[in-house]
Amino acid sequence: VGSKTPPAPMPTTGKVGKWVPKTCSTGFDDCSSSKCCLGVDQQCYKKNDNFGMCMQDCTAGLHVEDNNGTWSCKPLGPRSHGLALK
């Protein structure tokens, strides 16, 4: 078997598109519609048909921090590399 596919290169310009801050989700906001996150190394994960949240990782099943809500943890959209700001 061949080697793993290398990850996508990280952006080095320090700039994001003008649409990103207006469109992508942050914190505990629902990202199921935007399918993008502003946080560093964040991925939008699906909880159910009505909600998704940006997190670094997600394990399908019950989530104690969400009152034992069941998460599908299907990735929605691309993983965000984020933008470090001073």
Give the DSSP letter of residue 64.
G
- pLDDT at position 4 is 67
Q: Six-digit token pair at 3?
A: 């080697």
**Per the structure block, which two tokens stand in for 76?**
């929605």
pLDDT digits (tens, 9 = 90+) for 21-67: 888 998 889 999 999 998 888 999 999 999 999 999 999 999 998 99
Exposed / middle / buried, residue 79 (Cβ in 10 Å: 0-12, 13-18, 19+): middle
pLDDT in tens, 1-14: 666 666 655 555 56
Determine the pLDDT at residue 21: 83
